[in-house]
A and B are shown apart, each in its own frame.
Chain A
């Protein structure tokens, strides 16, 4: 039987690992990036093509780990690197892309990686009322000592529009400072983006939004047109007498 004291010790160890693990891992994984750009191009079937573009601030390490959220990556490809030099690895439930430069002998200044993910979002039916689908992005920097400029973009499938931004982080430190997220359109597709400068080890960047089809309700359109016409027909008496037919005014 586990004593109360043992339970406390376990909790303390778990807390220690949770809080200090990124710091302990830092010397192993640590490299500094001057730029990290991630573009998630979503497809109507729920899958996504993800493109990463990284620029290194130094060339010291021969092995780099990049945190990824997804377990199964398809068509993994890194520009200018041999096929075996890029692979996905798992470390205690966390997934990483491992880039091994040892074979090439040279650590590049920048690298482009692309891969595909199935079921990036739930494409069947709406996940919220009003036909909205939910879309979330999360990046926790557990690999790099510092990222100079971080940006991520979520490109919606054609025929969909961003309904609203639900939550995001980091929040502006002061009121009046610009929000980190943007909503734009590229090649006819809606894009939700987030950009943050100076991302430190352990920092978290999130962007949650909802999106919906661009299709509009035809019955609502017809009902409102009918209502407007009916008003013009049945409320003609307003023009004749001074009394307000629609009720008293405040």
Chain B
């Protein structure tokens, strides 16, 4: 299903497969849902084309503003859903809004691993709330997810966030999250390019 966190929705206003009738409406009191993207693979190509055509026709999304998924959730008006089901060979589903856990950070740092010890790491932390504030911290290895252990090396970058996670069931938890940065390995070509750029810069330097 196209999940949503935003302000407006798109409704299928007619029961015929006429996607020109997609229109923007307010989401208040509009029953959720619709074209379930989990089943989109089952839809006829023309439906997908019409759906994508709608995206292209709407001038607002030519820009880079609202997320497509959040602004253009597709919904069906309740009274028309039965007819939609009869006339329209597309699975339609009524679902509640897909709720997500929310994470509100109290403090965020970007860290660089300086030293790896048996039970802990020593890292330089940059406060992301007050950009520029630096401090050195000792962090127990237990805080690091096993999935990120292969990224743990001197110089590795990670993000450490302490905050509240509000679960969809209403439970608030105080949590600490460490996530290592994942970027592609540098290729030989890139290293060569960086080296050349460095050499060029060095030559351009004027020494007093």
The yes or no verdict on A and B being binding partners is no
Residues of B in contact with A (beta carbons under 8 Å apart): none
